[in-house]
Amino acid sequence: MKRRTFLKCLGTSAAAATAAGVVFPTAVGAQSKSDIGACRSIKVTVLSETSWFNNDVFKKDITDGGGASTNQYTVPWNRENSGGYSALIEVEALDGSRRKFLMDTGWNNDWMDYVFQRHGIDKMLASGEIDTLLLSHWHLDHYWGIESTLKHNPKIKIIAPNTHYPEDLQLLKGAEFKVAGAKNTVPHQGELLLVDDKTIHAVVPGLAIKQFDVPILLRVRGENVIYANIQGKGIVTITGCCHPGLLTLYNFAKRNIVGGDQTYGCYGGLHLSLFENWDPKFDDIIKGAQSFKPEKMGCNHCTGWAWAEKAAQSGLPIVKGTDTYKSYPKISSVARGSNVFLTNGDTVIF
Ligand SMILES: [Fe+2]
Ligand SMILES: [Fe+2]
């Protein structure tokens, strides 16, 4: 596949976002908006946002493996290049009590074992301090490191999009996909709660999940987006890759969530200049984001450093990261001195 066709394919997935047919079980008020409650604050710790370390190697794997629409379980991925995406989300309730959630579980089990040990996630899983995994979507870099989570608690509750393929559930039950290098030896024994795209799923007051059923590259469908409502501040979106598109998410909140017209910010991958390429539409997304007047934007992963730098230059409130990532054993080849990414080991509080 030619590079141009490949990049066009990625663009299609980002642009195909809709939120049609949404029904709310907890509709309130004249506008039938959903009330997700409120929390006092949310702290996000970036456990790992480096899903792979070298863009060129990752792109070559996809191209050689059959292109952007290929089933991710059939691609012979370069194992040395795989890392993973995962974050710790701490929700402070209005009464001051706190709940911890694991968001995503990375890709390479060895990398994730290191990351979880470094941040004490292994102990939090084993003790039950973290009892729920919020899986954003079934992409390899967010899901295939599942053994690293299950080995500490096979009974953990998992909340995931209902748009899985058979291989996804096989891996969860314990399976190996030799060509792709995906393996899980610890069958999941806990509750698997699959979220459809018709409802907003409440997790705790001030934190809810909405699934957007969009087509995504590598034969994946649907992404669960976390919406947080921070009292007195507004709505924060927390995403793995943000495949539906940031403006779609902010617009959805505005139309469908009580208090959703007040945007406070975002955390996570935004799926923009993924391979540090530039597309004129990225300028429009900067303008679109400005119209929502966010106060805090924590970006990383598939956002692309190029987009985050331009967004910061354009006045968007991009939260700067630190150099903590340099103390991890592997570093992304595209990390830059501008620190416009919240990267490995960084935290942000909303
Ligand atoms: Fe990703
Ligand atoms: Fe993704």
pTM of the predicted protein model: 0.91
Q: Give the Å distances, CA to CA, from 197 to 81, 115, 225.
A: 33, 32, 11
Contact (CB, 8 A) for 299 and 270: yes
201 CA from centroid of ligand 1 (Å)? 22
300 CA from centroid of ligand 2 (Å)? 12
| pLDDT per 10-residue tile (average), the chain, 350 residues | 35 28 40 92 98 97 96 98 98 98 98 98 98 98 98 98 98 98 98 96 97 96 98 98 98 97 98 95 98 98 98 98 98 96 98
Contact (CB, 8 A) for 37 and 227: no
Domain locations along the chain = 3-349
Q: Note the pLDDT of residue 6.
A: 33
Ligand nearest to the CA of 51: 1
Structure tokens at 240: 């793995």
Q: Note the pLDDT of residue 107.
A: 98
| The residue to which tokens 């597309």 are assigned | 279
Q: Note the pLDDT of residue 28.
A: 41
Ligand nearest to the CA of 161: 2
280 CA from centroid of ligand 1 (Å)? 22
221 CA from centroid of ligand 2 (Å)? 10
> Starting at the edge strand that comes first in sequence, how are the strands of the sheet with 130-134 ordered?
192-195, 157-161, 130-134, 98-103, 86-92, 41-48, 347-349
Contact (CB, 8 A) for 106 and 112: yes
146 CA from centroid of ligand 1 (Å)? 15
142 CA from centroid of ligand 1 (Å)? 6
Alpha carbons 127 and 186: distance in angstroms, whole number: 18
Give the CATH architecture of domain 3-349.
4-Layer Sandwich (3.60)
Q: Note the pLDDT of residue 32.
A: 87
97 CA from centroid of ligand 1 (Å)? 31
Q: Note the pLDDT of residue 31.
A: 58
51 CA from centroid of ligand 1 (Å)? 7
65 CA from centroid of ligand 1 (Å)? 18
Instruction: Provide the terminal-to-terminal Cα distance of the chain, rounded to the nearest Å.
Output: 42
